[in-house]
Amino acid sequence: MSTSQKPDRHMLEVLVCPVTKARLSYDAQAQELVSKAAHLAFPIRNGIPIMLVNEAREVD
């Protein structure tokens, strides 16, 4: 992933889970935002977080 495609850190700090409104943790290796409260991981594609529930994957 090139530098221009990395998500903006400030943007990641203000995003919350669309289901629970809880904070998200950033998994740089998987390029996902993880909601521990909802047990969902939202993908980041080309530096853009995809915050749609139907695009998220379930996590333990």
In this prediction, the residues of the chain whose per-residue pLDDT falls under 70 are: 1-4
Please tell me the predicted confidence (pLDDT) of residue 13: 85
> 3-58 maps to which CATH number?
2.20.25.10
Query: Residue 36 to residues 5, 6, 10, 24, 46: CA-CA distances in angstroms?
Result: 25, 22, 20, 7, 23
Q: Which residue is it, tokens 């669309």? A: 18
Please tell me the predicted confidence (pLDDT) of residue 5: 72
Q: Bridge-partner residues for 33, per DSSP? A: 26, 42
The encoded tokens of residue 17 equal 């889970």
Domain ranges of the chain: 3-58
